[in-house]
A and B are shown apart, each in its own frame.
Chain A
């Protein structure tokens, strides 16, 4: 049995059983692809589509998205050593989500921005897409210029 802390619940898991909240379920697990898994719990069938994003883990099922915070023993030890629970860390930079061209940059270095502010406009797939701030922060450095072609994953802006 391996131990996990998932959504603040103590979970015990082995190859065929899961135990939590004093309940024990048998399960079968089949990997369909990188992110799609078929799971049968006590006879009930689910195909779950998972996503790893910014350090969080999400499950998509029938049009709903659930965040599942899963820590194994190692994560818990690390937290213990670092003193207390990790605060949710925001990304310190914004990367280009796809290859494209910078149409314009709507912020300047040194400026405080709010969550949802438009940072820049990226043209890709024939559409102009507004790239917005995911959290309140301050712009430290802008690494691209208007009309630059950028690759997927290229760092565009660094925050403080």
Chain B
């Protein structure tokens, strides 16, 4: 087993990795930017070292400096987490050359699969269906227009290095192409330092289903079932769940086998995710493979009882899987909500500020993965996720009920959050029945959410709200706003 690892990441995923490493008796080294010097993950790790200024390009993306810390502190492994350097093959290669184990696939596999072009080629060899589109990067938006004409609108333009909705746009007509193409390209350049853009047929009303796989370094591969990730806004996942209500056992088996075949064909090792989209007729297409641990991995852990970080560390240490597909048991239902610092009532504008109060009630089927503590700040430097709330129960209804309870009791002051949005989504009949696709939020739910005029249906809540509002007035006055007019009862009768 690895003895000491460096975590080349921050926030909740750094905390997540440090926790499992500790449980396995592996020493941990974290790196931190100026902004993160007081963050939770730095304190949880055995050692932590300053790596640079707050912007990611000056800290968490500084591959050489990070590897230097790993070497100086005697680490035999580096866990990249997700985002940042996790899918950069050059970093994996640097680690390999320095004999520091990159906890993930080989750099060749990242190269192959991290590039959507090669991934498509491999899928074709493995006889896994793919979406029609370009295999080479586009020269410019004019070429995009030419190809879109052949394939037919709508089309999806996406950055080769993209992920998490960044550097992706749906284009509905020729008129939109130039501006959306430029936006996607700029985003990709800013986030990933790569501006290669591809185009493919945009499947209408698709569902996004992904399969988790685990592969050891001896060619053994298993899949851990699917994650339903269709609750998306601007191609960003909002709520994930497993199992999908819409996938039956035979489809699960077939798609799972595709995922395993594809991973084997690519010579993949460690944890990975095969993304599919499924159209309205349950026809599935391979989309891409994510060669890292995913944000939403906890729901798979809840359902399979496996600790994916532990499996990653075991695999990276050269151990065999030690189990076959038949040994994987699926139990219960799990849901994840991504709690983000953004304002759902104002176009989901990111909200920055200091979290001056945070309180939650967890346990009994509710898990939270977070790197945030009271007093921490949400900054412009990194993404806006505050926490992942994960529920688990033997029945789907109870998993939903637990999640609602978790959101009701999740109190944060200092930044705006999407908690009310998540809560309303869980309450929608579409989520309740599981009958939703990736278009649901933007085409239907947002209108409903924004036009929802709430009125009090409970006199005690009404009273409490009035008390709150009145106290707010009184508080403002006490805070030094001078009284211009002398309030006495004789004035009052003028308007009462």
Contacts and interface: CB of A to CB of B under 8 A. Distances in A.
Contacts of B472: 50, 52, 57, 70
Nearest to B56: A126
Given A25-B463, A32-B359, A74-B483, 15 more contacts: A6-B469, A25-B460, A34-B414, A41-B460, A44-B461, A51-B416, A61-B461, A63-B407, A63-B427, A70-B466, A74-B484, A77-B485, A98-B351, A126-B191, A126-B383
A105 interface: no
Given A3-B496, A49-B411, A121-B183, A129 B349 contact: yes
A63 B470 contact: no
B467 A128 contact: no
Interface stretch (B101-109, B198-206, B363-371, B417-425): B417-425
7 contacts: A34-B356, A36-B411, A70-B472, A74-B485, A97-B350, A98-B352, A127-B350
Given A33-B357, A73-B487, A127-B187, A13 B383 contact: no
A90 interface: no
Interface string B339-359: 000000111011110001101
B454 A64 contact: yes
A137 interface: no
5 shortest interchain CB distances as A-B pairs? A63-B423, A33-B357, A70-B469, A33-B413, A44-B460
Interface in A12-26: 13, 18, 20, 23, 25
Given A11-B470, A63-B407, A73-B492, A98 B350 contact: yes
A80 B494 contact: yes
A31 to B, nearest CB: 8
A73 B381 CA distance: 45
Nearest to B465: A59
Contacts, number: 181
Nearest to A9: B466
B175 interface: no
B186 interface: yes
B467 to A, nearest CB: 6
Contact of B463 (A4, A18, A34, A127): A18
A23 B422 CA distance: 35
Contacts of A41: 460, 463-464, 467
Interface string B484-496: 1101000110111
Size range of the chain A interface in the assembly: 35 or more
Interface residues of B, number: 63
Contacts of A125: 350, 352, 380-384
Interface in A49-80: 49-52, 57, 59-66, 68, 70, 72-74, 76-78, 80
A80 B197 CA distance: 61
A7 B350 CA distance: 30
A66 B190 contact: no
Contact of A73 (B414, B468, B491): B491
A126 B473 contact: no
Contacts of A20: 463, 466
B347 A132 contact: yes
B166 interface: yes
Contacts of B166: 126-127
A147 to B, nearest CB: 11
A39 interface: yes
Contacts of B46: none
B466 A68 contact: yes
The majority secondary structure among interface residues of chain A is: strand
A130 B180 CA distance: 12
Contact of A128 (B183, B414, B469): B183
Contact of A32 (B346, B350, B357, B452): B357
B96 interface: no
A156 interface: no
A3 B489 CA distance: 10
A48 interface: yes
Contacts of B461: 44, 46, 61
A147 B427 CA distance: 42
A115 interface: no
B474 interface: yes
Contacts of B411: 32, 36, 47, 49
Contacts of B487: 73-74, 77
A1 B461 CA distance: 21
B326 interface: no
B337 to A, nearest CB: 12
A77 B468 contact: no
Contacts of A37: 468, 471
A129 to B, nearest CB: 6
A83 B4 CA distance: 74
Given A34-B413, A129-B350, A18 B467 contact: yes
Nearest to B476: A52
Contacts of B491: 73, 77
A155 interface: no
B382 to A, nearest CB: 7
A58 to B, nearest CB: 8
Contacts of A124: 350, 380
B456 interface: yes
Interface string B403-435: 000011001011010011111100100000000
A33 B356 contact: yes
A63 B409 CA distance: 11
B450 to A, nearest CB: 10
A154 interface: no
A97 to B, nearest CB: 5
Given A3-B496, A97-B349, A128 B186 contact: yes
Contacts of A39: 464, 467-468
A70 B424 CA distance: 26
